[in-house]
Structure 1
Amino acid sequence: MRVRFLKPAYFIWLIILGGAYGASQIVGLPHLRFVYDFQTAGNPFDTFADRYFTRCSYWGPNGKFTIHFPAHGECALFRFFTANSEYAER
């Protein structure tokens, strides 16, 4: 009986880790929106009035990122940023 110490299945975890690292470098890591400014379209005390966001700040593993005047006036709850993103606050 021959014992085989080096099976390809033993190294699958390297492919998974390498893929996760590569994806995080290309797409970025998730960041959570924690501060935002907006203007309402109509009565400022109406909780159901449409909001037009003017500034969104996100915090996550790569630090703090601020977007001034986001596209279409909308801020996502989560966004992906890379460490050298153009929105980084330094």
Structure 2
Amino acid sequence: WGQMSFWGATVITNLLYFIPGLVSWICGGYIVSDPTLKRFFVLHFIFPFIAICIVFIHIFFLHLQGSSNPLGYDTALKIPFYPNLLCLDIKGF
């Protein structure tokens, strides 16, 4: 790995020194080395999947519960989430 990766990892791990034990767990020691690179790679690989799951859970509960109604209108016009709104969410509309 290059100098930019090394110094970037060094800066990020130095920002985490205020949490006791976290840096030694992430780095595999007290210096940035090969285990640090592998752990950063795993975190960067897994994080998008976790983020996508959180987004889907958020959309599910938003459509299940409904969003806030600041004007207080009581309406019986409800569109079912599946398949109508789910297809719109998947398409991005």
TM-score under structure 2 normalisation?
0.29
Q: Which has the larger helix fraction?
A: 2
RCO comparison, higher one (Cα < 8 Å, 6+): 1
Larger relative strand fraction: 1
Tell me the TM-score normalized by structure 1.
Answer: 0.30
